[in-house]
Chain A
Amino acid sequence: MEAVKKHFFTDISVMLGRSMRHIFRSMDTIITVCITPIAMMLLFVYVLGGAIQTGADNYVNYLLPGILLMAIASGIAYTAYRLFMDKQRGIFERFHTMPISRSALLWGHVLTSLVSNAISVIVIILAALLMGFRSSAGILPWLAVAGILALFTLALTWVAAIAGLSAKTIEGASAFSYPLIFLPFISSAFVPTETMPSVVRAFAENQPVTSIVNAIRALLSDQPVGNEIWVALAWCVGILLAAYFFAMRVYKKRV
């Protein structure tokens, strides 16, 4: 057991190196993850944006947080896909018959998801800058935004791990992400929730995306974040813990 623990970080770094190679050899995964959110941003800013009253003078600023969450929700589907392929192809069996830490395998995939989603988030922010996104926020608020996004990515990646490990088909492994991608539409990401009918509004105001979007928006525009940031963090940590717990259970049961 000692040896296994000692090598935990070696194992993780080898696993991370492996799946990062997978990503850089199929750049299309990052491109697809970026294209839909950028197209969505173009659509909302240049087609629909004129008719949307948000009270903000710069609609790109208003829109960006929700777009980033959308990109992450579609990016994590690839983690489910890669886990499913590993399970399917027998490479898991090879690793499991070796004296390496079992959870290092999952952590390798999870860290890869963090890195690849960070890349897409940066690409999308650059696109937003071209479209007129401006922020007066300093280093600290930006770090806070990065932290929230990382936490959100981690939480959803563990959800993806559950899907990837328990799916029977390749379609099943990625289908779970569709509702997640859709979630920003029923939130404060594109329009203020005040305009929604009461039932929808109640849902929108109490689902995680709204508090995360509001917190990021406030941070980027140098506004006081109030309670929203704590609600946002609570959602992320809560989902993260629950998903991690279930993913590990599925992992131990299946392999």
Chain B
Amino acid sequence: MPNHSIQVIGLHKSYKQQQVLKGVDFEVEKGSIFALLGSNGAGKTTVVRILTTLLQQDSGTATVNGFDVASKPDNVRQAISLTGQFAAVDEILTGRENLIMIAKLRYLNNPRQIADTMLQRFGLTDAADRKASTYSGGMRRRLDIALSLVGNPQIIFLDEPTTGLDPESRIEVWKIVKELAAGGTTIFLTTQYLEEAEQLADRIAILHEGRIIAKGTLSELKQLFPQAKVEYVEKQPSLEEIFLAIVGKKEAM
């Protein structure tokens, strides 16, 4: 058994005339954070949908947790969970009811207790009995991630987890991702923010026009560029740092 949680070889996918994936290869090590970086329309979501058994590839193979996604989708589903681009929470149910529902669907004992633990862990205890439709974007995203973590899946897919979030919520999500990885969970994440990949990922692959054009650790990728000339520049605070300082969140990282 290789030390790979995810292995993708020669993945092709077309929608009608349009070729979205033109031979994608990569592998993700167990317990690591892997970032698939690419601009809008690069095919990131298509890769995620294939790996999470929502979509069938045209050719090539993908194995997740040692099982082929096309022929053994049920085994794959035992090991994964997906947090998609849009928070997939039931808005009419409360946060607590959402968590209990997912715990029941994972056939866990004590769904109520699991819900309580998750609510506490994600700072949602006060809002637990409010309908999810009343939640802010950041709260909804936290609930969404909490739902994905019920039952402790080994591999978590996060498809653009911070798109549309304010800076504070984004940092919160980053913190959660780091904690998860520290606990041994494999994380597959897509993002269009370079900074996010830089902050989180052990390994990065860049998807461009349906192909992986570069992959490796951050320092390996940096070596692809000529040696930087050393210059001394007075560091200006970024707008994000200013914003966070004013809002009183001094480097929550």
Contacts and interface: CB of A to CB of B under 8 A. Distances in A.
Interface of A: 1, 3-4, 7, 10-11, 14, 17-18, 21-22, 25-26, 89-91, 93-100, 255
Given A94-B147, A97-B82, A14 B101 contact: yes
Interface size class of B (residues with CB under 8 A): 20 to 34
Interface of A is mostly: helix
B197 to A, nearest CB: 23
Given A4-B74, A97-B53, A98-B106, A89 B101 contact: no
B208 interface: no
5 contacts: A1-B74, A18-B101, A21-B92, A25-B92, A94-B82
When A and B form their complex, which 4 residue pairs have the shortest distance between CB atoms, in order from nearest? A90-B88, A94-B88, A99-B77, A97-B82
Interface string B70-98: 00001001101110111111111100010
Q: Which of B84, B88, B105 has the most CB of A within 10 A?
A: B105
Given A1-B74, A18-B90, A11 B82 contact: no
A93 B88 contact: yes
Nearest to B91: A89
A93 B88 CA distance: 8
B232 interface: no
Interface in B104-129: 104-107
Contact of A91 (B78, B89, B131): B89
Interface of B: 52-54, 74, 77-78, 80-82, 84-93, 97, 101-102, 104-107, 131, 147-148
B105 A93 contact: no
Given A11-B105, A18-B101, A97 B90 contact: no
Given A14-B104, A99-B77, 7 more contacts: A7-B107, A10-B105, A18-B90, A93-B54, A97-B77, A97-B81, A98-B77
B111 to A, nearest CB: 10
Contacts of B87: 90
A146 B53 CA distance: 41
A89 B92 contact: no
A99 B77 CA distance: 5
Contacts of A4: 74
Contacts of B101: 14, 17-18
